[in-house]
Structure 1
Amino acid sequence: MDFIKTIDSSSGEEVQLSFKDYGKGRPVVLIHGWPLSKEMWEYQIDDLVEAGFRVIKYDRRGFGKSSKPWGDYDYDTLTSDLHSVMETLDLRDAVLVGFSMGGGEAVRYLSKYGSERVSKLVLVSAVTPYLKKADDNKDGVANEVFEEMMTEMKKDRIAFLDDFGKKFFGVNLINHPVSAPLLEYYRALASVAAPIATQQCAIAFASTDFRADVKSIKIPTLIIHGDDDQTVPIKASSERTSTMIPNAVYKVYEGAPHGLFYTHRQMLNKDLIEFCR
């Protein structure tokens, strides 16, 4: 088992981050979404490695095989963990690929630690620039939506994950882009996360304002989002992020749900490989 060790800033507790490192070439760091783990990238790994990239994926603290401390699931701490990955593996000329919640870590990393180790950025279905509706963020998502999510998580986390997964992949009475066994597999990946991590990370991605982080980005950036995303609505996220990063390449996948890393995997992999080169 491969782990990167870091120290929790508030408790002093050692936190182990589970990671996998494949291939050779320019490093591509895959940052997973909520409430999944690094295993969500299964359908990207082969194509990226075969295209000549070194691919690193890791589990966010509280998820997958990483340590599950009781606290510290704010974005500064999560980004510090990403920094530990970059430093420990001495990654340079890297491409950061942040999916959904992972987009927050990617932009906060560049804002906080700079682009010395990073040459390109990819945001996929990302929560940036600021998800929660506020007086100065009229296009955001109403707070009641997040409050209801929290209530359902605390009441029956697995039932919540089951329902959330269907919306995540755009499953309904007419459309079934993911098989029932695969849907159950993704639910199982999410169920491994610590309940406290699932809750606290939801608070983090809902309430963290990344507008200043996004505006500080100067490196080449690719933004990808599905126009049928019912989890992170495109108008509240990537549509706005694309106007805040100079010369960003913005690709909208028609009919794609949030979980386009599976439903639109061939298109995504092709775009990732072309941009990373």
Structure 2
Amino acid sequence: MPAPFRTRDGTALFHRDWPPQGPPQGASGPPVVFAASWSLPSDSWCYQMLALAEAGFRCVAYDRRGHGRSDDPGRGYDFDTLADDLAALLDHLDLRGATLVGFSMGCGEVLRYLTRHGAAGRVARAVLVGTTTPKLARAPDNPAGLDPALLESFRRDWLMRDFPGWIDANMEPFVSPETPAGLRHWVRDMALRSSLQALLECHRTLAAADFRAEARAIGVPVLLLHGERDITSPLDLTARPTAALLPDARLEIYEDAPHGLFLTHQARLNADLIAFARG
């Protein structure tokens, strides 16, 4: 197991680095770097990483601070610091020409990395899966957004009182009816390994974020993959306006798909990632 690397503020972050496994065996493939969603660690990407490693890619994923096996430092849950953590990983491994893949909150980290650090030869393209960008909360200039009081109610009534109960109540719309019970339990277990303090601060960051201006400055091709029935990140609030803002973007809508595409649509998602990462 790779040793954790340390970020600029000394936080130790766990990461996994899988070499290409497909023919020719052991060849050095282009890197694909995965940023997980709010509450989930790098384990959540394993079914994508297995498929891409078999297709000849080097696959790297990490646990966000306060998630999984990374440190729980009690600070640094703003998007600038989280983007700096991603930059520290790319620098630590000296990755070049990478495809960055974010899911849900991880999409904001990918975009903030690109506007804060630039591609600089390290990043060739990006994928946003079930994105929460450009802006979730309702505001005078974002009337279709989610009611801030509703977001605060989630934090006060569920996250700070009964997070396991919230997971159970919201698992059904996160997946599909045919999703096996074992996969549902796996997601629940992963989420419960995250620091509640980290989840609280990350959710506040997520709810307050506004990527509308910086999305226009992204200088690499971006593929957006989004479920048609995603109620966590509604398509018309997130993926469609994000795609419209990005200079070079393509949006692929998965018909009748929920937010948890990495579980419910593994084969299609993996095929789309492989095709796009090959350039």
Structure 2 residue 60 is the aligned partner of structure 1 residue 56: yes
TM-score, with structure 1 as normaliser: 0.93
Deviation at 1:213, TM superposition (A): 2.0
Q: 1:130 is matched with which residue?
A: 135
State the 1:188 CA deviation: 0.7
**SS at 1:155 equivalent:** coil
Q: Which residue of 2 aligns with 1:242?
A: 243
TM-score (norm 2): 0.93
Classify the secondary structure of the residue corresponding to 2:137.
coil
Match in the other structure for 1:94 = 98
Cα deviation, residue 33, structure 1: 0.5
Distance 2:260 2:64 in 1: 18
Identity %: 40
Question: Whole-Å Cα distance in 2 between the matches of residues 167 and 253 of structure 1?
Answer: 15
Change (3 A) 1:77 1:247: closer
Greater alpha carbon shift after TM alignment, 140-149 vs 253-262: 140-149
Pairing 1:189–2:195 present: no
AA of the residue aligned to 1:197: A
CA contact (8 A) 1:161 1:191 kept: no
> How far, CA to CA, are the matches of 1:262 and 1:180 in structure 2?
12
1:144 aligned to which of 145, 149, 160: 149
SS in structure 2 of the partner of residue 132 of structure 1: coil
SS of equivalent residue, structure 1 residue 66: coil
Superposed structure 1 runs of 4+ greater than 4 Å apart = none
Question: What is the alpha-carbon distance in structure 2 between the residues aligned to residue 181 and residue 214 of structure 1?
Answer: 37
Q: Which residue of 2 aligns with 1:16?
A: 12
Q: Distance in 1 between matches of 2:15 and 2:226?
A: 26
1:110, 1:213 within 8 Å by CA — same for their partners in 2?
Answer: no
Aligned to 2:7, what secondary structure does the other structure show? strand
Deviation at 1:145, TM superposition (A): 2.3
In 2, Cα distance between the equivalents of 1:93 and 1:242? 22
Secondary structure class of the residue paired with 2:94? coil
Aligned twin of 1:5: 6
Kept in 1: contact 2:13–2:69 (CA 8 A): yes
> Match for 2:263: what amino acid?
Y
Post-superposition offset of 1:207: 1.1
In structure 2, C-alpha distance between the alignment counterparts of 1:112 and 1:32, rounded to whole Å: 19
Cα distance in structure 1, aligned partners of 2:35 and 2:133: 14
RMSD: 1.1
Once the two structures are superposed, residues 165-220 of structure 1 have per-residue CA deviations (whole angstroms, 9 ceiling, x without a partner) of 333224xxxxx132222211111100010110111111111111111221111211
Correspondence for 1:173: none
Q: Aligned in 2, Cα 1:227/1:201: closer, same or farther, shift over 3 Å?
A: same
Q: Who is 1:11 aligned against?
A: none
> In the TM superposition, what is the alpha-carbon distance from 1:34 to its structure 2 partner?
1.2
Q: How does 1:21-40 map to 2 (within 5 A)?
A: 21-23=17-19, 24-40=28-44
Query: Is the contact made by 2:31 and 2:57 (CA closer than 8 Å) also made in structure 1?
Result: yes
Equivalent residue number for residue 22 of structure 2: none
Corresponding residue of 2:164: 158
Contact kept, 8 Å, 1:20 with 1:58, in 2: the verdict is: yes
